[in-house]
Amino acid sequence: MSDPRQRLAELAAARHTSLAKLSRLIGRNGSYLQQFITKGSPRKLEEEDRRVLAEFFGVGEAELGAPEGISYGLADSPRTQRSDFVDIPRLPLGASAGPGALAAEEAPFDSFRFSRRWLREQGLEPGMLSAIAVEGDSMEPLLRDGDEILVDRTPRPLRDGIHVLRLGDALLVKRVTSGGAGRVTLLSQNLAYPPVEVALDEVEVIGRVVWKGGRI
């Protein structure tokens, strides 16, 4: 088993989140986890802090220092039942399906709970997923204003599909297709919005949209 400090640093880097944000997630001051990793203080994570971080990253608590085979109670306890599910963070961001929205603070404010088995069947790694809201009407009827989307940030070669991307300061959700010669075309589902063609190096592809949820 790897050092919990090293493992936490690896998970934070893979999620592209700071130790300060993670410290605030567990209700600590911003330097708490930085000191844990670099100075060994505290010597180990508190049980509740470890649980919250493990659920955030979608990993077992043993990876963050819990004893192997740790048991918290009866087999039918809520905590044991929770092991079959993983919490995917909801970020206070709006991916614009219209003219564009400015990116906001990316510290999670809530989570959606997904079946660990379902995610595995879909080939999705919990630690690479996050949920954000759709804003605007340019992707209707596929995605409506207020829908929540699950974004897979696993690094992969870009292929046609629905993606969340950053163009300048705006965070967008669009269908991305190759435009040839280092260019991509951003397409809306709503035909009232014309296609936008940009150079590939002008956009930062955040991730692929792999699930949506919303009111009927």
What pLDDT score does 144 carry? Answer: 94
Residue 51 shares a structural domain with residue 155: no
Q: Are 186 and 175 a contacting pair, CB within 8 Å?
A: yes
What pLDDT score does 162 carry? Answer: 95
CATH of the domain at 90: 2.10.109.10
What pLDDT score does 83 carry? Answer: 59
Residue 30 shares a structural domain with residue 102: no
Domain boundary among 16, 48, 76: 76
Residue 95 shares a structural domain with residue 166: yes
Whether pTM > 0.85 for this model: the answer is no
Residue 97 shares a structural domain with residue 202: yes
Q: Are 138 and 189 a contacting pair, CB within 8 Å?
A: yes
Mean pLDDT by 10 residues, the chain (216 residues): 85 88 85 92 89 84 76 38 75 65 60 88 88 92 94 88 90 90 92 93 92 89
Residue 156 shares a structural domain with residue 186: yes
Range of the structural domain that residue 27 is part of: 4-76
CATH of the domain at 44: 1.10.260.40
DSSP-assigned states of every residue in 77-116: SHHHHHTTEEEEEEEEEEEESSS-EE----S--EEEEEEH
Residue 144 shares a structural domain with residue 199: yes
Cα 162 to the chain's mean position, in Å? 16
- Look up residue 13 and give its two tokens: 């880097």
Residue 16 shares a structural domain with residue 51: yes
Question: Count of domains in the chain?
Answer: 2
Cα 17 to the chain's mean position, in Å? 10
Pairing label, strands 170-180, 203-213: unpaired
Residue 69 shares a structural domain with residue 148: no
What pLDDT score does 59 carry? Answer: 83
Residue 59 shares a structural domain with residue 152: no
What pLDDT score does 73 carry? Answer: 34
Domain boundary among 22, 48, 76: 76
Domain boundary among 40, 55, 76: 76
3-state SS, residue 203:
strand
What pLDDT score does 77 carry? Answer: 38
Cα 99 to the chain's mean position, in Å? 23
Residue 89 shares a structural domain with residue 164: yes
